Structure 1
């Protein structure tokens, strides 16, 4: 098996990813949006953490009416950050995208948040609807205007994404395939290390799954638990890498591993994310896909699903390919779990270190093949 062209969620054809974040001036937080193809994507969700911050998850129960969603929003800001979904809803409604009802449409936009309050920014400097609108703009199919790519709050086509806010730093963004301290992961902390957004994909060949398939994951890694193997301080999620994916990593020196002392203070956290495939799945199968992706989360994070985590994973099926048979579905489930574990590893590996949250390679410089042994 091999990764997709960008080794990211964007390898699932039809999905678009947008990141918007603010850093500086009392801010360190952001929002990530996953936009579905025209017509939406079949969706499911699985919530395992004891302190979730979510929106519209009940709609994804297979017993309930709505079959497809039009976007999924992942955000910083704890419960305050759920309002970022309103900005995405507004943009989708203006484009006529949503569940049709008499008089118009209602965009279906589930959301989940991480706790990042006061981590490098003011406690109440949290994402609102303007963050969602900006993330939507950065993930829109049309290329952003030159003004938008410089981080202003101008929407594609020159329409204002939000009224000006004097004193706020401009929005910044990152490519859809990027990992690191971006979007919803801007203020993330992973077991004392800098956390962030990570993404990964795998292409299942016809020899594994007749007809082939693409399976991908995007994780916002902000766990209370450790992302390190307790035996040698390697990134636990990297054990599930595809051939060559993490070939530049090795166990750090024993001295570095023994010197690392993560903060002992209790913290609120949460890891959230999306897994997706281009095959046709039912809502119930998407719920199972999200549930099995939590296996990947638990392989990459120890302990997972704690009382201070709100671990939540959404699953999307774009339905571009045929429905899998029972045995074939097993291959998609297994690939999703591994992809999520890999995404967590990429999130931590690419994160930017800062005060009180050092980067993984700042703490373990010998963990790269060119590092200090």
Structure 2
């Protein structure tokens, strides 16, 4: 209910004293915004920079850290030729039909990758309209801005809200694009990607890139890795995975694949979570290529990705790969032909897949902790709202702290409509044991931060638990 001006003024006046006084209930925090109007774009931030010399290729990233979710924009100084290869069973793309026509013309200005599932598709058209608004393109039929785009699914149980990359974020990322700088890891469209749901790994992934120059020839590859399958090192070991307790030590992808379907069952693994995943990728070369060569490049590199992701391009993936030629240098016989370019790019793409994997959150270590005064535990009690569909209720009973998720889904290891004990692991920190990390941080007054760190989810205190 809306509060009166006097009530609001008294709350603001008394808030510092109430927060500072031990034993007092926390002051109600504002309700999380249901719209995205107050979100602030974070531009060209996060991950580890990959730098290379290519003035024509500019890259910008943007994120809403509240999600977290983001967008990555690749733009070119002039129109380029492009082809597309779609392998996954659940793609969501923009302008792929135009790229499939195989015209020997340069029609495209940008490639846009984003989170937010189908809602993130507006980022692609937003970049196109920014190109027009900024005067780079016009309304003439031969100057229409055309952007290619694809999205990944970054909702489900990986986060507790449904913030998505929108027009404002995409245009900010495009306008801040820099030549020859790409951010590997949890940045841009890869801000909240995950991998390995097929085997229950539920590991964090991200976006990855790799670059190679041979004489004047330049090849760059980029991927936003959000696959249903697992990311695999070149030695066959899993690059990232929260292993099931029943798995053999030093497990490899061959162990998992050779033991299907048993390797997905209880005692091997307990697959859970959304079956909507996607890996979206881009190959850029500066050598002139005709439409047939460019299409074959897209197919060849996309096929190669099944080595670094297993299984790849399932019914639950929306995998799409774009191949772009900037046409800056002529193809010279006897130097590097299109098939060799495809082989080099394929090897680079495996590097890009591996470069996408960031350091994983560690599982909390449950050890004996000093007893916490009941008064302090009671101060953590309350309802913490993460979104319109997830609230975590925290309560104290007999000197112990408990949590329960309400709404439409559970909150990581905190079950839906069931109470679970929260075990202390540090000052103001509690954990729920399980296969995946679940840490609750009460150290910021008025908030509950779940899994503090790079992929944190923040709930705001609504009211005391009676």
Q: Is 1:48 matched with 2:52?
A: no
Cα distance in 2 for residues equivalent to 1:45 and 1:293: 11
> Residue 35 of structure 1 corresponds to which residue in structure 2?
75
> Residue 295 of structure 1 corresponds to which residue in structure 2?
303
Cα distance in 1 for residues equivalent to 2:157 and 2:332: 43
Asked if the contact 1:29/1:126 (under 8 Å) is kept, the reply is yes
Cα distance in 1 for residues equivalent to 2:269 and 2:57: 36
Deviation at 1:97, TM superposition (A): 2.6
Unaligned runs of 5+ in 2: 1-47, 197-201, 241-247, 257-267, 363-411, 413-434, 438-466
Say which SS state the counterpart of residue 271 (structure 1) adopts.
strand
Deviation at 1:123, TM superposition (A): 4.6
Deviation at 1:340, TM superposition (A): 1.1
Summarize the alignment of residues 74-153 of structure 1 with structure 2, pairs less than 5 Å apart: 74-98=113-137, 101=140, 105-118=143-156, 120-139=158-177
Asked if the contact 1:74/1:113 (under 8 Å) is kept, the reply is yes
Q: 1:310 aligns with which of 318, 323, 326?
A: 318
Deviation at 1:268, TM superposition (A): 0.9
Asked if the contact 1:279/1:324 (under 8 Å) is kept, the reply is no
Unaligned runs of 5+ in 1: 1-5, 142-174, 206-211, 237-253, 359-373
Deviation at 1:177, TM superposition (A): 2.5
Q: 1:233 aligns with which of 233, 237, 241?
A: 237
Deviations 1:111-156 (A, max 9, x none): 0011111455445311111121121022156xxxxxxxxxxxxxxx
Summarize the alignment of residues 51-62 of structure 1 with structure 2, pairs less than 5 Å apart: 51-62=90-101
Say which SS state the counterpart of residue 84 (structure 2) adopts.
strand
* Matched pairs, number: 292
Between stretches 262-271 and 337-346, larger displacement belongs to 262-271
> Residue 217 of structure 1 corresponds to which residue in structure 2?
221
Summarize the alignment of residues 3-22 of structure 1 with structure 2, pairs less than 5 Å apart: 8=50, 11-22=53-64
> Residue 328 of structure 1 corresponds to which residue in structure 2?
337
Q: 1:306 to 1:223 in 2, by over 3 A?
A: same
Q: TM-score, normalised by structure 2?
A: 0.57
Q: TM-score, normalised by structure 1?
A: 0.70
Q: 1:353 to 1:108 in 2, by over 3 A?
A: farther
Deviations 1:153-200 (A, max 9, x none): xxxxxxxxxxxxxxxxxxxxxx93220100001110011211101000
Q: 1:271 aligns with which of 251, 268, 279?
A: 279
Cα distance in 2 for residues equivalent to 1:108 and 1:118: 31
Q: CA RMSD in A?
A: 3.1
Asked if the contact 1:115/1:269 (under 8 Å) is kept, the reply is yes
Q: 1:357 to 1:314 in 2, by over 3 A?
A: farther
Asked if the contact 1:16/1:140 (under 8 Å) is kept, the reply is yes
Larger gyration radius, structure 1 or structure 2 = 2
> Residue 149 of structure 1 corresponds to which residue in structure 2?
none
Higher helix share: 1
Q: 1:65 to 1:328 in 2, by over 3 A?
A: closer
Cα distance in 2 for residues equivalent to 1:312 and 1:232: 24
Asked if the contact 1:200/1:342 (under 8 Å) is kept, the reply is yes
Q: 1:190 aligns with which of 170, 195, 203?
A: 195
Say which SS state the counterpart of residue 348 (structure 2) adopts.
helix
Cα distance in 1 for residues equivalent to 2:151 and 2:250: 33
Say which SS state the counterpart of residue 320 (structure 1) adopts.
strand
